[in-house]
Structure 1
Amino acid sequence: MRLILAGLLFLAGGALFSPALAQDNAVDPIDATLSQCLEKPAADSTTGMVACFNAARDAWEKEVVRAYSNLSATLDARSRGILRGTQKQWEAYKAAEQRFQQARWARDRGTMIAVTLASQNADLFKNRALTLRGYKAE
């Protein structure tokens, strides 16, 4: 048990000092804009919060495209093909996730489910953009 715990601590310590994670210490401009939007009086409503998260999602979606293009330009043909395949799989996952969110179960959850789903969608694109950025940084 101690050996497993020591190994996990070692891995966590290594991750804390990775260059990709060091970049994450600075607040991304998209996240800063989202925070500013959520602080405005208009974000006191469900509709206002959803609008803020949707704007962040749109910005992260553009960042996914930019980060993908930047990374793709640095790869050899075989790696570029593999990346293209993973991107298509991610896009299929994203589409399936969005179909699920629009299913009947979401309609019976009250108004705050819209905020939760909008936030999760923004995070979905953010995580992909950061993953692509991280590959380029390495």
Structure 2
Amino acid sequence: MMFRQKNFSAALAACGAIGVLTVALSLAASDARAEAARADPIDTAMQNCLARADRSTTAGQVQCIDAARDAWQAAIDAALRSISASAPDDDRRGWEASQRKWLAWRKEEVPLVHAVFDTTKGGAYSITQANVLLQSVRDRALAVRHAASRFAPPPPAAASGASTAGASASSPGSAAAGSGAAGTSIASAVASAAATRAQSEDARAHNERMRPCTADAACEHAQFDLRRYTRALREKLPAHARPVLLRAQRAWTAYFDATSPLGTEAERADLIGERVATVKRLSETVGND
């Protein structure tokens, strides 16, 4: 964080109303950047697990990754419960349909991943395989979490900062403390306003009419890459595994068709991009020693 609390309070005591607001805005921006940079607890737990001496073997590393995948699956379930409780009926039904298609795709995707890694040699590839299986679950969890945050009711406005400021200002000799409390209250208000603004901007983006993919350069380019890497993967796969790829791609397309209308154009492109990354990785893995 840019400022320590005591320095922040001292600055507020020395500044007028404009200065207080400026420092509060700086603090809110710093906090927002720190929040954005903070790792997800599930990722942190996995990294800590991977660093343990008793998980240094290939089997131990896979165990850590599988545990993270289970945690992300639990995050999906929690976010879907939140959507079910808070989202409008049309959105709730849309996400329920999306989840059914996602589960159907995952059922077809796992055999494809196994078919690809059956062509590799070396125990280390089991770690890569576990990571591939983890990534799609993590991507889904982050997407459903984002949707749940859009539908969640806004938190109640905090009144404690204002009451603290009033109490501090009424005490003799507490000008600096009062200024500090007022600054904290302003910082909280600024942060709350920023969160509300971000939420409203996100809502507007979701309410915008989505163009066809052929009219959206990002979507069209992502689809081109997906077709290119899918062809590369098909050509490298053994003949008996190609129907597995076909079934997985059909299931993914059904999932994509059910999910992309629930988001924005940028989220649609990201959804394709996630698939491109997986198929590209699989195409580069087939047959490796």
TM (norm. structure 1) is 0.76
Counterpart position of 1:67: 79
Q: Deviations over 1:89-114 (max 9, x none)?
A: 111121111111222x4223121221
Asked if 1:90 corresponds to 2:105, the answer is no
Structure with the greater relative contact order (CA < 8 A, sep ≥ 6): 1 or 2?
Answer: 1
Assess, with a 3 A threshold, how the Cα gap between structure 1 residues 96 and 43 changes in structure 2: closer, same or farther. same
Assess, with a 3 A threshold, how the Cα gap between structure 1 residues 25 and 137 changes in structure 2: closer, same or farther. farther
Asked if 1:108 corresponds to 2:144, the answer is no
- The answer for unaligned runs of 5 or more in structure 1 is 1-20
Alignment of 1:25-40 (within 5 A): 25-40=37-52
Q: CA deviation at 1:24?
A: 4.6
Q: CA deviation at 1:137?
A: 2.4
Counterpart position of 1:78: 90
Q: CA deviation at 1:88?
A: 1.0
- The answer for unaligned runs of 5 or more in structure 2 is 1-32, 151-289
Number of residue pairs aligned between Structure 1 and Structure 2:
118
Asked if 1:45 corresponds to 2:27, the answer is no
Indicate the percent of aligned positions where both proteins have the same amino acid: 28
- In structure 2, C-alpha distance between the alignment counterparts of 1:36 and 1:122, rounded to whole Å: 16
Q: Is the 8 A contact 2:117 2:129 kept in 1?
A: no
SS at match of 1:97: helix
Q: CA deviation at 1:78?
A: 1.9
Comparing 31-40 with 94-103, which one deviates more in the overlay?
94-103
SS at match of 1:63: helix
Q: Is the 8 A contact 2:50 2:64 kept in 1?
A: yes
Counterpart position of 2:281: none
- In structure 1, C-alpha distance between the alignment counterparts of 2:36 and 2:140, rounded to whole Å: 14
Asked if 1:135 corresponds to 2:147, the answer is yes
Assess, with a 3 A threshold, how the Cα gap between structure 1 residues 112 and 39 changes in structure 2: closer, same or farther. same
Counterpart position of 1:7: none
Assess, with a 3 A threshold, how the Cα gap between structure 1 residues 45 and 56 changes in structure 2: closer, same or farther. same
Assess, with a 3 A threshold, how the Cα gap between structure 1 residues 58 and 83 changes in structure 2: closer, same or farther. same
Counterpart position of 1:6: none
- In structure 2, C-alpha distance between the alignment counterparts of 1:102 and 1:27, rounded to whole Å: 30
Assess, with a 3 A threshold, how the Cα gap between structure 1 residues 22 and 64 changes in structure 2: closer, same or farther. farther
Assess, with a 3 A threshold, how the Cα gap between structure 1 residues 134 and 24 changes in structure 2: closer, same or farther. farther
Q: CA deviation at 1:22?
A: 8.2
SS at match of 1:102: helix
SS at match of 2:86: coil
Assess, with a 3 A threshold, how the Cα gap between structure 1 residues 85 and 122 changes in structure 2: closer, same or farther. same
- In structure 2, C-alpha distance between the alignment counterparts of 1:42 and 1:57, rounded to whole Å: 20
